[in-house]
Structure 1
Amino acid sequence: MKNLYQIALQTVSPIKLKKNGEAGHVGCALETVGGVVFTGICIDVPCSIGICAEQAAIAEMLKNRETKIKRIVAVYEDGSILPPCGRCRELMSQLDLYNENTMVVVDFEKEVRLKELLPERWDKKWD
């Protein structure tokens, strides 16, 4: 977890965008079951069209034809760990059945499986 945390922290690179927009104040690193690490940054713009750092990292992973996430962590610019939002949790779960077992870093001393963050799945009958 510490290595993945460091990679996510190094990915953080805040940049100001037009009219109160910003990007890069959250960095994410995910490791696939194949051992490949992908990173992403957040993009926040005033009209709410931004994306989370997790979504950016997932897009990079998918671009490389992988779907199974072993572990994921998102880090804010102050070094704190941010658990994924509900949208990111749902996205990970929709990519691959394996991802129920993805280890999600939620704090410096705590990791939980994605399925613990998404109880009572709405889509279980289609698995």
Structure 2
Amino acid sequence: MDDDALLDAARDVQTEAYVPYSEYQVGAAIETADGEVYVGCNLENANYSNSLHAEEVAIAEALKDGHRSFAKLAVSSGERDAVTPCGMCRQTLAEFCDEEFRVLCDAGADGVREHALGDLLPETITRETLGK
């Protein structure tokens, strides 16, 4: 899938976000290595720590269908502020994606900001770090 279509998928799923506390909608779309796309949106909980982030919802959907290899991720907020995945989501991505994994962040009229996962999360904890 081209980058624009993946970003559109992330934008489209934002409307499904459950965000009664922050009112900050986020959508994510992850493309598997074989070209399938899974989407997720943020789902808040009153205690915040139980909230689910859009990126983790999208990757969980792909994982439950057996995917373990991914090509790229697009993230978009209602603010179009080039939001990046948080540290927890970056670590989850690092479990399945290499340092060159592409993360596309919606900057609205300013276009797309692209990052490599390794730049967002340098020296991450990996299976190799744990000696596994």
TM-score (norm 1): 0.82
Give the aligned partner of residue 8 of structure 2: 6
The Cα of 1:16 is off from its aligned counterpart by: 5.7
Aligned-pair identity in percent equals 25
In 2, Cα distance between equivalents of 1:15 and 1:26 = 7
CA contact (8 A) 1:12 1:41 kept: yes
Residue aligning to 1:26: 26
Contact 1:24 1:41 in 2 (8 A): no
Shift of the alpha carbon at 1:119? 1.1
Aligned-residue Cα RMSD (Å) equals: 2.4
The Cα offsets for residues 42-96 of structure 1, whole Å up to 9 and x where unpaired, read as 01122121110001101110011001221111111234432100000000111x2
Deviations along 1:4-34, one digit per CA (max 9) or x if unpaired, are: 11111111115667xx457882111111111
- In the alignment, is residue 36 of structure 1 matched against residue 36 of structure 2? yes
Letter of the 1:13 counterpart? T
Cα distance in 2 for residues equivalent to 1:59 and 1:90: 14
SS at match of 1:50: coil
- Structure 2 CA distance for aligned equivalents of residues 24 and 35 of structure 1: 29
1:15, 1:22 within 8 Å by CA — same for their partners in 2? Answer: no
Which ranges of structure 1 fall in alignment gaps of 5 or more residues? none
Is the contact made by 1:70 and 1:99 (CA closer than 8 Å) also made in structure 2? no
The one-letter code of the counterpart of 1:112 is H
**Counterpart position of 2:100:** 101
Q: Secondary structure at the match of 1:47?
A: coil
Aligned equivalents of 2:103 and 2:17: distance in 1? 26
Instruction: Point out the structure with the larger strand share.
Output: 1
Alpha-carbon distance change, 71 to 80 in structure 1, aligned in 2, over 3 angstroms: same
The one-letter code sitting in structure 1 at the alignment partner of 2:7 is Y
Aligned partner letter, 2:120:
L
Question: Which residue of the partner structure matches residue 124 of structure 2?
Answer: 121
